[in-house]
Amino acid sequence: MAPKAKKPAPTPAPPASRFADRIRDGLGVYLDDPASFPASRIIYFNDDFVAINDLYPKASVHALLLPRSRKHNLLHPFEAFEDPEFLASVQKEVIKLKALVASELRPILNGDAEPDDTGELPPGRDWEADVKIGIHAHPSMNHLHIHVLSRDMHSPCLHHRKHYNSFNTPFLIDVADFPMAKDDPRWHPGHAGYMKRDLVCWRCGANFKNQFKKLNDHLNVEFESWKRE
C-alpha cells in the first residue's frame, strides 16, 4: 500500500504587525484610481481629493476626505497642516463635502415629510449645523483623512467607548481650528485624557460614566427624538 502523501505545510500567517500595517494603509487604495471603485464607496474625486463613504461609519452619514498630494498624504495632520497653502485647500474642500453630507442627512431626518407642490421637501433645520468636521489627534489610519459626519452617532459600527469619545471630545479637531496656538492642549491628547472621559450624550448631556451599552441604547432613543426636531 503506497504511503499517504504528506499534506503541504500551511502557509504561515503574516506577523500581526504586518497585518495591522495593511489595515492602517487601507485608505491608500482609493487615491490612485478612485474611478475603479463603485459609486457606493466614492462620493466624488478630483485631481486633489477623493471623498468616500466611511466603510465603518460611526453616524448615519459619515464621509472621509482624502487628500491626494503625495507630499502630504502620509503625514500626521498636525505636520501636514503646517503648510498654509495645503491647509487652505483642505479647509475649502471640506466645506464642499460638508454640504454634500448635509444633503444626504436631509432625507434621513425628513423621511416622513411630504414634498410641496414643486416636489421639494420643506427646508426644515439648518442641515449643515448637524454635520461635524475634524481630524483625530491620533489617527487610526496612515493616510491623511478628514472626517465629515452627522452628529447623531447612530450606527451599528459604534462599538465602544473609544469610538464614541473620539468623535465627541476635543480628540476630534475641526480643520477650521488650524493653525492651533502653541499652548492648545489638543496637541497632547494623551495628557488631556480625552479618550478616558465619561461617556456623555452629545444631545442631552446625560452622563453614563463608562457604561457604553447604556449610552448606546440611549443614543437610539435620542436619534428618533432628534429626527423630529
Give the residue-averaged pLDDT of 52-76.
98
State percent of the chain over pLDDT 70: 84
Closest to 56 measured CA to CA, from 145, 127, 122, 123: 145
Domain boundaries defined on the chain: 25-227
State the pLDDT at residue 8: 47
pLDDT of residue 22: 64
Q: Are 182 and 201 in contact (CB under 8 A)?
A: no
d(CA 106, CA 54): 18
Neighbours of 212 (CB within 10 A): 18
Dump pLDDT digits (tens) for 44-61.
Answer: 999 999 999 999 999 999
Q: How many alpha carbons lie under 13 Å from residue 175 in its C-beta half-sphere?
A: 30
Of 20-24, 41-45, 101-105, 142-146, the range with the lowest mean pLDDT is 20-24
Q: Residue 147 forms beta bridges with which residues?
A: 64, 134
Nearest to 46 by CA among 25, 27, 29, 69: 69
61 Cβ contact partners less than 8 Å away, ≥ 6 residues apart: 101, 104, 105, 108, 131, 149, 150
Q: How many residues does the chain have?
A: 229
CA atoms of 93 and 95, how far apart (whole Å): 5
Q: Which cell numbers in the block locate residue 98?
A: 460638508
Residue 49, helix vs strand vs coil = strand
The predicted-structure confidence for 80-92, as pLDDT tens digits, reads as follows 999 999 999 999 9
pTM: 0.86
**Residue 108's pLDDT is what?**
85
User: Rounded CA gap, 194 and 136, in Å?
Assistant: 11
Q: Please check whether residue 174 is in contact with residue 208, taking contact to mean a CB–CB distance below 8 angstroms.
A: no
146/96 Cα distance (integer angstroms): 13
Categorize the per-residue pLDDT at 191 as very low, low, confident or very high, splitting at 50, 70 and 90. confident
**Is the domain covering 25-227 a CATH 1.10.8.420 domain?**
no
Q: Report the distance separating Cα 134 and Cα 103, nearest Å.
A: 19
